[in-house]
């Protein structure tokens, strides 16, 4: 996994709430046996008319040429529903390095973290502050400092992340390396009377 | 201070606490299926490591399999490949696989309990959010992503932060025509689709206690729809008698010691929860959803709510536009195109029996397509043995073969764009049952009522008619 430190980028606003993982990547695109190529079907049915990828829906933010960047900003309870990690893969494959929302579903949050897509949780007020910005506004997410800021307005907010996951992301470590180092302790645990 | 059910099981499975971080949590049972496992197996291959505890892993093919002609090769190439890859991976790693054609095959959350693999006090995971189902047995059971599937393969452990604890009590007696599906849709309508995010939920109270295991599974199944990390119910005599004698349940001399352990699994009287809700069973009516998340539910005879405030208005308008409904109107009498009775929420034998008893002597309405998809081969076999298949056939209902089917529309069982489907499944998200499909979640009885009338119906009106008819002939 690539280390994550500072993400400085414009953002794509998706003000909808309760964006479920079926919207992020519909089930009919989960037939692949590899992790690659899900970005082209990211938000498939919100992005295209009648399941036709030559007919982008004009109103959808990903289709609006004014918006670009590595940060998706979405309404609260982002990533609810199905546990499909394909949702995180699709966001990553499309080019997003972070998602900003005021509330995340648990499983999505873990899936995003396990793929180096940073889920940044901000207050409702700060989220509205971001939505109020113009399309050319940049956001700066500093993982080390645990802050997200809008340089244009000078506004900034800190965000939570557990210290273990922070270390993993900053260094590009993954949980499996750690768990494999734990195997002797796991075997000892298994031998205890339970 | 006493401990909650969750804490008792959790503490029993912590291998190590990482300071400032999550716990290393030991996993007793790992269920896998064809859709969320292939990339995890590939990950292991890249690292050159085997599955650490293959005997604690059980596989089935369910999400992406056809529900007709399962004896024939899968027609769709990508789906066939995905199922083949599962076979190859399980064979290479020594994992028991109940694939298509195997008498134990079925929806992963139906077969685990049915085979006695799911037991009280366990930690259970699967790359599927509805793993919460298994919590009905008094276990910590939750859905995980594919990277986490790989972690369990590699170490039989996961890194998990302890969630907050919530108790939802439902006390009293359920009214006629109201089932466990209505209970959970009611709770969802009260606390919203994000109401339990960050919490492990224990369901308690006399109405929950009175439910069968299959009905309890329906409730725990949908705890993920509240955002809960897991849902659970303390095991009791109902639980123990369900498990006893099943294929992989402790048998012979192992039974009594297992039972003694299981009987300690309950929340102590003085245990503390971070949040508590209490509901009255008498307030619950047959429920149905009108919108595009499972929290958007109403009593079937109630009007669609009118939004309160601008924030709610935006969300409601988007959902109503998708569904083709208007705020304030009633759903009763709305035309239905499809009825789907199936999914890990409601595809068990009790569900099929209940529907069969209701439709006996009735016929489906013209213009409605009715799919009954049993949860497992065992459910299907038992339904046939009881003659339930004949009742469905006479009613014009199609009894298909086991799988997840139209719950997620991954195989060919899709609801066409714009069509209305009353579904016993768990999610009414936009496009969930097929691009543009419109889903109304309900209980098996409410779904069956729609099947025979062709419109959204309060099933209680038909139950009364039945009683009156019976009296007339008495």
DSSP states of A80-116: BS---THHHHHHHHHT--EEEES-B-HHHHHHHHTTT
Cα angle B252, B255, B261 (rounded to 5 degrees) comes to: 160
**Residue B262: per-residue pLDDT:** 98
pLDDT exceeds cutoff 90 at B470: no
Mean pLDDT across chain B = 96
Structure token pair of residue B83: 């199922």
User: A186 and B26 in contact by Cβ < 8 A?
Assistant: yes
What is the DSSP secondary structure assignment for residue B303, as one 8-state letter? Answer: B
pLDDT category of residue A104 using cuts at 50, 70 and 90? very high
pLDDT above 90: percentage of residues in chain A: 96
Domain-by-domain residue ranges, chain B? 5-277, 288-472
Comparing CA positions, the residue from B214, B98, B128 lying closest to residue A84 is B128
| B8 has pLDDT over 90 | yes
Question: Which tokens sit at A7?
Answer: 């993400």
Q: Are A172 and A3 in contact (CB under 8 A)?
A: yes
Interatomic CA distance for residues B288 and B303, integer angstroms? 11
Chain B residue at shortest CA distance from A188: B15
Residues of B whose CB is below 8 A from A45: 430-431, 435-436
Q: Residue B85: pLDDT above 60?
A: yes
Please indicate whether, in this complex, the C-beta atoms of B38 and A34 are within 8 angstroms of each other. Answer: yes
B227 CA: distance to closest CA in chain A (Å): 6
How high is the pLDDT of residue B466? 53
DSSP for B328-373, written as a single string: T-B-TT-B-SEEEE-TTTS-SHHHHHHHHHHHTT--PPTT-EEEE-
Widest CA span in chain A: 62
Phi, psi for B8 (deg, rounded to 5): -60, -45
Q: Comparing A142-156, B133-147, B305-319, B439-453, which segment has the lowest mean pLDDT?
A: B305-319
Residues of B in contact with A189 (CB under 8 A): 15, 26
What is the spatial distance between Cα B394 and Cα B171, in angstroms, rounded to a whole number?
A: 39
Position B367 pLDDT exceeds 50: yes
Q: What is the reported pLDDT for B20?
A: 79
Whether the pLDDT of residue B474 is over 50: the answer is no
d(C-alpha A160, C-alpha A103), whole Å? 12
The superfamily (CATH) of domain B288-472 is Aconitase, domain 3 (3.30.499.10)
Same CATH fold assignment for domains B5-277 and B288-472: yes
Q: Is the pLDDT assigned to residue B472 strictly greater than 80? A: no
Query: Is residue B313 scored above 90 in pLDDT?
Result: no
Q: Which two tokens stand for residue B178?
A: 């109201």
Between A and B, how many CB-CB pairs are < 8 A?
179
Q: Which of A138, A133, A139, A137 is nearest to A157 (CA)?
A: A139
Q: Which of B39, B49, B143 sits opposite A34 (nearest CB)?
A: B39
User: What residues of A are in contact with residue B47 (Cβ under 8 Å)?
Assistant: 176
CA distance B297 to B187: 9
Cβ B127 vs Cβ B40: under 8 Å: yes
Distance (Å, rounded) from C-alpha B72 to C-alpha B92? 24
Report the pLDDT value the prediction gives residue B312, as an integer from 0 to 100. 79
Band (B220; pLDDT cuts 50, 70, 90): very high
Residue A165 pLDDT > 50, yes or no? Answer: yes
Pairing of strands B230-232, B275-280: unpaired
Q: Which two tokens stand for residue A50?
A: 């009648």
* Structure confidence by residue, pLDDT tens digits, B376-396: 999 999 999 999 999 999 999
Instruction: State the smallest CA–CA distance between residue A107 and chain B in angstroms.
Output: 6
Name the closest residue on chain A to residue B28, using Cα atoms: A190
- Output the pLDDT for position B19: 85
Chain B residues lying within 8 Å of A127, measured CB to CB? none
pLDDT greater than 80 at residue B268: yes
Say what the pLDDT of residue A1 is. Answer: 80
Q: What per-residue confidence (pLDDT) applies to B179?
A: 97
CATH of domain B5-277: 3.30.499.10
Does the reported pTM lie above 0.95? yes
Asked whether the beta carbons of residue A186 and residue B85 sit closer than 8 angstroms, the reply is no
């Amino acid at each position: 996994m690539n280390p994550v430190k500072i993400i400085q980028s414009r953002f794509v606003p998706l003000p909808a709430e309760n964006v479920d993982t079926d919207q992020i990547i519909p089930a009919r695109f989960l037939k692949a046996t590899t992790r690659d190529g899900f970005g082209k079907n990211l938000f498939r049915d919100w992005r295209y008319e009648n399941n036709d990828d030559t007919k982008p829906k004009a109103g959808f933010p990903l289709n609006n040429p004014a918006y670009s960047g590595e940060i998706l900003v979405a309404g609260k309870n982002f990533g609810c529903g199905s546990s499909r990690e394909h949702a995180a893969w699709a966001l990553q494959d499309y080019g997003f390095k972070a998602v900003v929302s005021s509330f995340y579903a648990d499983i999505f949050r873990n899936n995003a973290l396990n793929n180096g897509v940073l889920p940044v949780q901000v207050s409702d007020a700060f989220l509205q502050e971001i939505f109020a910005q113009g399309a050319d506004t940049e956001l700066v997410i500093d993982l080390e400092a645990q802050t997200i800021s809008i340089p244009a307005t000078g506004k900034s907010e800190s965000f939570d992340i557990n210290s273990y996951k922070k270390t993993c992301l900053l260094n590009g470590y993954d949980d499996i390396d750690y768990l494999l180092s734990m195997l002797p302790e796991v075997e000892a645990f298994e031998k205890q009377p339970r | 201070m006493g401990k909650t059910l969750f804490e008792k099981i959790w503490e029993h499975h912590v291998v190590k606490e990482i300071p400032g971080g999550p716990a290393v949590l030991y996993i007793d049972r790992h269920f896998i299926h064809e859709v969320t496992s292939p990339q995890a197996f590939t990950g292991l291959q890249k690292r050159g490591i085997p599955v650490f505890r293959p005997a604690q892993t059980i596989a089935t093919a369910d999400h992406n399999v056809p529900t007709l002609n399962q004896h024939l090769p899968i027609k769709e190439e990508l789906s066939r490949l995905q199922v083949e890859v599962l076979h190859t991976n399980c064979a290479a790693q020594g994992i028991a696989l109940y694939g298509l054609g195997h008498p134990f095959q079925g929806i992963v959350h139906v077969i685990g309990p049915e085979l006695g693999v799911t037991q009280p006090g366990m930690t259970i995971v699967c790359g599927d959010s509805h793993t919460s189902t298994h919590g009905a047995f008094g276990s910590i059971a939750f859905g995980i992503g594919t990277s986490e599937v790989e972690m369990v393969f590699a170490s039989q452990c996961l890194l998990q932060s302890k969630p907050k604890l919530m108790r939802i009590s439902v006390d009293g007696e359920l009214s006629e025509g109201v089932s466990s599906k209505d209970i959970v849709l009611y709770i969802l309508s009260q606390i919203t689709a994000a109401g339990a995010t960050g919490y492990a939920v224990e369901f308690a109270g006399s109405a929950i206690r009175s439910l069968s295991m299959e009905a309890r599974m329906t409730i725990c199944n949908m705890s993920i729809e509240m955002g809960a990390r897991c849902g659970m119910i303390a095991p009791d005599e109902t639980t123990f008698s369900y498990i006893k004698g099943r294929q992989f349940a402790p048998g012979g001399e192992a039974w009594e010691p297992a039972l003694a352990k299981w009987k300690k699994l309950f929340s102590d009287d003085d245990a503390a929860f971070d949040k508590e809700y209490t509901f009255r069973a008498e307030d619950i009516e047959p429920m149905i959803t009108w919108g595009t998340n499972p929290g958007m539910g109403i009593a079937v005879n109630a009007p669609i709510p009118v939004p309160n405030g601008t924030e709610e208005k935006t969300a409601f308008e988007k959902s109503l536009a998708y569904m083709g409904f208007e705020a304030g109107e009633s759903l009763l009498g709305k035309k239905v195109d499809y009825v789907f009775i199936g999914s890990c929420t409601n595809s068990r034998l009790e569900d099929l029996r209940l529907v069969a008893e209701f439709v006996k002597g009735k016929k489906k309405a013209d213009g409605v397509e009715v799919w009954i998809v049993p949860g497992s081969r065992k459910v299907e076999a038992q339904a046939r043995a009881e003659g339930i298949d004949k009742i469905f056939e006479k009613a014009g209902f199609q009894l298909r073969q086991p799988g997840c089917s139209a719950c997620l529309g991954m195989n060919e069982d899709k609801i066409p764009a714009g069509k209305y489907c009353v579904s016993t499944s768990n999610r009414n998200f936009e496009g969930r049952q097929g691009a543009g499909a419109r889903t109304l979640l309900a209980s098996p009885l409410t779904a069956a009522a729609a099947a025979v009338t062709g419109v959204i119906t309060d099933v209680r009106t038909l139950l009364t008619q039945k009683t009156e008819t019976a009296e007339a002939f008495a």
